[in-house]
């Protein structure tokens, strides 16, 4: 059987006629949260029977979750073949209600999704690398993470969420399926999550950054930089041997970006590794001429890692230096520190508990 979430409306219309039926199917799944074809009451019975015989609409099953005191929720999902992936719901702003019970400001959410089972990149600080690479996710398995999280957390259809491809895997190593997922999510008859609400984070596959730019999907770009010299970056991120810092910067300079937006550079700060002012000075020079925003991320320690979380003082000095030189810089608010915060951590812990097949 086929995963219906893998199909765009145009592709689905090749199976289901007349064409307006595909729009109805999309609305049932993405707007009305239908979990079975029997719920699609305005479809003729013969079409519903055919759908039941050829497709399924639940590509994943939640087998474990952890809820942080800050409201973030980390999910471990099992796919149809028994492999597991992680996704995270991050509450960004709380809903504000006045004394009369009227909502003044709606809650805002970001959903962090995986794009692969495992990862090929082998970054020394990342727990996902420990399990190696198994396979790419299909477009429907990516979309399914978002659909499930929105539905199960009762996030209304009209409440738009931000999507970040920052979970397990390298999104640009699975560009065909990720780009297809982006287009499915953008569909106004689907979840209608605009491209500017979707951010692809990459470890720096320069040739794929250029391909993504040529697709002109309108998504935002985030570069996992983490070091300002090739020597250090190769130790942290083996991908730097194939795509050094200069090649990544060249690809970024060619990437089409909305004039109101910036390219984000993620900089994972680790104690005594890359947290001193000389690194900050080099970073300013590296970003010269790029409309950039730097997001400083404090390393989340996990068992077996040689790296440590930096001091808040050093991180603030780093930020202050960048800002003093005109570089937009923020310190990412760490979430989920009381749960399995590091990417891949919940999966690894669950292996030890024999609670999932990975």
Give residue 105's pLDDT.
65
Lowest mean pLDDT across 118-127, 171-180, 234-243:
118-127
Closest CA to 174 of 151, 146, 203: 203
- DSSP class of residue 309 equals P
User: What percentage of the chain reaches a pLDDT higher than 70?
Assistant: 89
Closest CA to 87 of 168, 153, 162, 154: 168
Angle subtended at Cα 82 by Cα 79 and Cα 83, rounded to the nearest 5 degrees: 70
Closest CA to 207 of 260, 170, 163, 261: 170
Task: Calculate helix-pair angle for 206-215, 245-254, nearest 10 degrees.
Answer: 10
- Look-up of token digits 């194939």: 242
Cα separation, 307 vs 310, whole angstroms: 9
Task: Give 91's strand partners.
Answer: 109
336 is in an annotated binding site: no
Closest CA to 261 of 210, 221, 288, 223: 221
Lowest mean pLDDT across 21-30, 31-40, 327-336:
327-336
300 is in an annotated binding site: yes
Lowest mean pLDDT across 171-175, 240-244, 319-323, 351-355:
351-355
Give the helix/strand (H/E) hosting 4.
none
- DSSP class of residue 242 equals T
226 is in an annotated binding site: yes
Parse the chain into domains and list their residue ranges.
1-58, 59-352
Give residue 355's pLDDT.
40
224 is in an annotated binding site: yes
Distance of CA 267 to the CA centre of its chain: 16
- Residue-wise pLDDT tens digits, 318-337: 999 999 999 999 998 766 66
Q: Find the mean pLDDT for residues 255-274.
A: 91
Q: Find the mean pLDDT for residues 136-156.
A: 97
- Residue-wise pLDDT tens digits, 195-214: 999 999 999 999 999 999 99
Give residue 173's pLDDT.
98
Q: Find the mean pLDDT for residues 275-284.
A: 97
Query: Are 148 and 60 contacting, i.e. CB atoms less than 8 angstroms apart?
Result: yes
Just list the catalytic residues: 86, 343
Query: Are 165 and 144 contacting, i.e. CB atoms less than 8 angstroms apart?
Result: no
Lowest mean pLDDT across 94-108, 153-167, 283-297:
94-108
Give residue 258's pLDDT.
77
Give residue 332's pLDDT.
87
225 is in an annotated binding site: yes
- Residue-wise pLDDT tens digits, 212-229: 999 999 999 999 999 999
- DSSP class of residue 115 equals -
- Look-up of token digits 């089972």: 117
- Residue-wise pLDDT tens digits, 298-314: 998 888 889 999 999 99
The CATH classification number of 59-352 equals: 3.20.20.70
Cα separation, 93 vs 71, whole angstroms: 10
Query: Are 270 and 307 contacting, i.e. CB atoms less than 8 angstroms apart?
Result: yes
Query: Are 269 and 310 contacting, i.e. CB atoms less than 8 angstroms apart?
Result: yes
Query: Are 182 and 219 contacting, i.e. CB atoms less than 8 angstroms apart?
Result: yes
User: What percentage of the chain reaches a pLDDT higher than 90?
Assistant: 80
CB atoms within 10 A of CB 331: 16
DSSP codes, 167-201: SSS-GGGGHHHHHHHHHHHH-TTTT---GGGEEEE
- Residue-wise pLDDT tens digits, 245-261: 999 999 999 999 876 78
Q: Judge whether residue 358 has pLDDT over 50.
A: no
E strand residue ranges, 34-95: 55-56, 60-67, 73-79, 84-93
What is each CA distance from 55 to 12, 62, 71, 267, in whole angstroms? 11, 20, 35, 42
169 is in an annotated binding site: yes
CB atoms within 10 A of CB 79: 18
Distance of CA 151 to the CA centre of its chain: 18
Closest CA to 299 of 277, 317, 273, 321: 273
Closest CA to 220 of 151, 173, 268, 165: 165
Give residue 340's pLDDT.
56
Domain 1-58 is found in CATH 1.10.150.530? yes
170 is in an annotated binding site: yes
Q: Which residues of 30-42 are buried (b: 16+ CB within 10 A; e: fewer)?
A: beeebeebeebee
- Residue-wise pLDDT tens digits, 53-88: 999 999 999 999 999 998 999 999 999 999 999 999
Q: Judge whether residue 349 has pLDDT over 60.
A: no
């Amino acid at each position: 059987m086929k995963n219906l979430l893998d199909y765009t409306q145009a592709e689905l219309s090749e199976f289901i006629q007349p064409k307006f039926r595909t729009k109805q199917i999309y609305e049932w799944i993405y707007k009305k949260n239908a979990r079975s074809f029997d719920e699609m009451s305005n479809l003729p019975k013969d079409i519903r029977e055919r759908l039941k015989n050829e497709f399924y609409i639940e590509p994943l099953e939640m087998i474990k979750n952890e809820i942080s005191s800050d409201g973030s929720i980390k999910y471990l999902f099992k796919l149809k073949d028994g492999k597991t992936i992680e996704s995270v719901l991050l509450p960004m702003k709380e809903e504000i209600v006045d004394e009369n019970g009227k909502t003044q400001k709606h809650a805002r959410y970001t959903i962090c999704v995986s794009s692969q089972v495992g990862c090929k990149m082998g970054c020394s600080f990342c727990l996902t690398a420990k399990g190696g690479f198994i396979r790419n996710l299909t477009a429907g398995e990516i979309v399914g993470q978002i659909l499930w999280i929105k539905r199960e957390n009762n996030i209304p259809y009209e409440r738009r969420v931000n999507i970040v491809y920052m979970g397990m895997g390298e999104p640009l190593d699975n560009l065909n399926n990720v780009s297809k997922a982006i287009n499915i999510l953008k569909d106004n008859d689907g979840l209608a999550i605009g491209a500017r609400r979707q951010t692809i984070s990459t470890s720096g596959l320069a040739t794929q950054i250029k391909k993504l730019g040529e697709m002109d999907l309108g998504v935002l770009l985030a570069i996992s930089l983490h070091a300002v010299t090739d020597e250090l970056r190769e130790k942290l991120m083996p991908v730097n041997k194939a795509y050094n810092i200069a090649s990544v910067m060249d690809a970024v300079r060619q990437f089409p970006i909305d004039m109101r937006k910036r390219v984000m550079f993620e900089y994972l700060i680790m104690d005594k590794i890359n947290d001193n002012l000389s690194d900050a000075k080099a970073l300013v020079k590296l970003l010269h001429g790029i409309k950039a925003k730097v997001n400083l991320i404090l390393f989340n320690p996990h068992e077996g890692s040689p790296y440590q979380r930096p001091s808040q003082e050093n991180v603030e000095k780093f930020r202050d230096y960048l800002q003093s030189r005109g570089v937009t810089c923020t310190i990412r608010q760490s979430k989920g520190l009381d749960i399995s915060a590091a990417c891949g951590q919940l999966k690894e812990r669950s292996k030890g508990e024999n609670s999932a097949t990975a």
